[in-house]
């Protein structure tokens, strides 16, 4: 079937009766909400369908404005002169260079900064689109693309502020500074001071002003920050879509595919030690910053990071996802994965027992004392019902949950494992 016209139907919200054997055609990646086929289920709309342009702008407009503002701020700081007046040693009285690690020659970059940024953005986006051969989810592409931009832009702004306010000497600093000390130089200001009067500032430099500014802003590495911000996000995305760390034994090629982005990030960062554009600690700092923002951005856009039951599910703004109350069959995100092994891609794979990662087996680990039979339906429909767009089964589930939790109560009942399935034990 064609790329744009096949998608399994959303399953019934009643997880006790769900079997995964009933499917009907669903619209493709670019089908609009309420379009032909099963973009509705029993008369109720699902979330996993393309919104109108106006709806999309309403949902993401603030992000677009924020990204533009942050990009402008980051560019302004990047173009500004280094803030501190940094002192540096040149040579002892006998002519020996104090710090030869800053005396390397200026070379051409193996990977220019623009190339590192493009690779960190375009390679993940290309993979997101390839995954849609199986996933066919507009919101998966949307969240993944928005998420990697969150990571790249936020990490870039973070690191340029550190460069500007702290910075440091690049390995080729003395080569571009080209310091000249007159024979009868009289100490003044920040020049010829410190121990044995060997410390100077940039006023004795005779090289190109732009090169000197750049050579004073070594830490952290912008190349490495961008590479890890984009490729670590891609790593987390691939783990979720391929279910590498999951509840079955995956093929080895998935492990190779998973760590290929990490290898790419390490190669980009490592190349900076070959062309002497960065010290090793600059690269380490950039990797930490990029990785931190990649993890943060992925968790903002997807339901989990390591919990294999939920980490493939894109989050919808203004509609909370309820963990552990059954698969999100009404949202249509249960099959937003690439792999089809071990039942993944059907609602049967969205097992909701146990708590292997960062999601509990129910809303804060509790189950409503009344309406427990409808708890699965309530959780499955809550992703849509939270903003008044609930689907079939959502009313009954919501009433049951409301009865058990009214007056702000958190009454819970004893739970014990019953039955068994290939996806784990169910808790009642």
- Residue 395 inside a domain? The answer is yes
Can you list the alpha helix ranges (DSSP code H) found in 204-279?
209-215, 222-242, 252-274
- Residue 406 inside a domain? The answer is yes
The residue count for the chain: 428
- Of 254, 252, 230, which Cα lies nearest the Cα of 240? 254
| Residue 52 · residue 58 · CB < 8 Å | no
* 3-state secondary structure string across 269-337: HHHHHHCCCCCHHHHHHHHHHHHHHHHHHHHHHECCCCCCCCCCCECECCECCCCCCCCCCCCCCCCCC
- Of 363, 365, 361, 360, which Cα lies nearest the Cα of 378? 363
- The answer on 353 and 274 residing in a single domain is no
CA–CA gap between residue 26 and residue 7 (Å, rounded): 4
- Phi, psi dihedral angles at 316 (to 5 degrees): -105, 135
From first to last of its 428 residues, the chain has per-residue pLDDT tens of 444 444 544 434 333 333 333 334 445 555 554 444 344 443 334 567 788 888 889 888 999 999 999 999 999 998 888 876 777 877 766 667 777 888 888 888 899 889 999 999 999 999 999 999 988 889 999 999 999 999 999 999 999 999 999 988 899 988 898 888 777 666 666 676 677 677 788 888 888 889 998 898 899 999 999 999 999 999 999 999 999 998 889 999 999 999 999 999 999 999 999 988 999 999 999 999 999 999 999 999 999 999 888 899 899 887 787 776 555 555 678 788 898 888 887 766 554 444 444 444 444 333 333 444 444 444 444 444 434 443 433 433 444 444 444 444 444 444 444 444 444 444 43
> Which residue among 301, 332, 357 closes a domain?
301
- The answer on 396 and 285 residing in a single domain is no
- The answer on 167 and 245 residing in a single domain is yes
Burial label, 418 (beta-carbon count in 10 A; 0-12, 13-18, 19+): exposed
| Residue 378 · residue 397 · CB < 8 Å | yes
pLDDT of residue 349: 55
Taking each helix axis from N to C end, the angle separating 280-301 and 252-274, rounded to the nearest 10 degrees, works out to 140
pLDDT of residue 186: 66
- The answer on 192 and 286 residing in a single domain is yes
> How many domains does the structure of the chain reveal?
2
Give the chain's radius of gyration (CA, Å): 28
- The answer on 366 and 256 residing in a single domain is no
- The answer on 355 and 293 residing in a single domain is no
pLDDT of residue 9: 46
CA–CA gap between residue 146 and residue 29 (Å, rounded): 17
pLDDT of residue 321: 79
CA–CA gap between residue 240 and residue 33 (Å, rounded): 25
CA–CA gap between residue 11 and residue 72 (Å, rounded): 45
Q: Is 321 left (phi over 0), alpha (psi -120 to 50) or beta?
A: beta
- The answer on 355 and 263 residing in a single domain is no
CA–CA gap between residue 364 and residue 367 (Å, rounded): 9
pTM of the shown model: 0.73
- The answer on 397 and 297 residing in a single domain is no
∠ CA 389-333-341, nearest 5°, is 160
- The answer on 284 and 237 residing in a single domain is yes
- The answer on 245 and 114 residing in a single domain is yes
- The answer on 274 and 350 residing in a single domain is no
Q: H/E element holding 74?
A: helix 53-79
- Residue 26 inside a domain? The answer is no
**What range does the domain containing 280 cover?**
55-301
């Amino acid at each position: 079937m064609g790329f744009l016209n096949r998608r399994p139907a959303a399953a019934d919200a009643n997880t006790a009766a769900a079997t995964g054997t009933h499917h009907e055609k669903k619209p493709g990646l670019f089908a609009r909400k309420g379009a032909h086929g099963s973009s509705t289920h029993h008369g109720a709309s699902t979330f996993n369908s393309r919104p109108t342009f106006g709806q999309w702008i309403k949902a993401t407009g603030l992000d677009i404005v924020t990204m533009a503002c942050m990009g402008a701020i980051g560019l302004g700081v990047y173009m500004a002169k280094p803030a501190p007046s940094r002192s540096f040693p040149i040579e002892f009285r006998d002519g020996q260079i104090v710090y030869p690690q800053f005396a390397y020659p200026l070379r051409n970059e193996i990977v220019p900064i623009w190339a590192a940024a493009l690779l960190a953005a375009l390679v993940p986006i290309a993979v997101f689109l390839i995954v849609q051969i199986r996933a066919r989810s507009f919101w998966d592409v949307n969240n993944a693309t928005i998420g990697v931009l969150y990571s790249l832009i936020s990490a870039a702004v973070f690191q340029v502020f550190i460069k500007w306010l702290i910075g440091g000497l690049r390995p080729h600093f003395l080569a571009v500074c080209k310091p000249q000390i007159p024979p009868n130089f009289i100490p003044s200001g920040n020049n010829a001071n410190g121990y044995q009067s060997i410390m100077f500032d940039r006023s004795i430099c005779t090289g190109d002003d732009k090169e000197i500014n750049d050579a004073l802003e070594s830490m952290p590495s912008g190349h490495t920050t961008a590479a890890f911000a984009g490729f670590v996000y891609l790593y987390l995305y691939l783990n979720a879509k391929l279910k590498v760390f999951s509840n079955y034994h995956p093929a080895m090629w998935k492990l190779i595919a998973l760590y290929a982005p990490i290898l790419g990030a390490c190669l980009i960062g490592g190349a900076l030690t070959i062309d002497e554009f960065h010290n090793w600690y600059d690269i380490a700092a950039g990797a930490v910053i990029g990785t931190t923002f990649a993890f943060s951005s992925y968790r903002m856009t997807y339901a989990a990071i390591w919990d294999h039951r939920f980490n493939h599910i894109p989050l919808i703004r203004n509609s909370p996802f309820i963990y552990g109350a059954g698969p999100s069959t009404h949202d249509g995100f249960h099959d937003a994965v690439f792999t089809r092994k071990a039942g993944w891609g059907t609602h049967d794979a969205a097992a909701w027992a146990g708590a292997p990662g960062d999601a509990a087996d129910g809303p804060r680990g509790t189950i409503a004392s009344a309406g427990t039979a409808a708890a699965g339906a309530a959780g499955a429909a809550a992703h849509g019902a939270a903003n008044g767009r609930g689907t079939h089964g959502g009313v009954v589930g919501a009433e049951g949950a409301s009865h058990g939790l009214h007056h702000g109560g958190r009454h819970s009942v004893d739970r014990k494992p019953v039955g068994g399935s290939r996806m784990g034990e169910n808790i009642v």
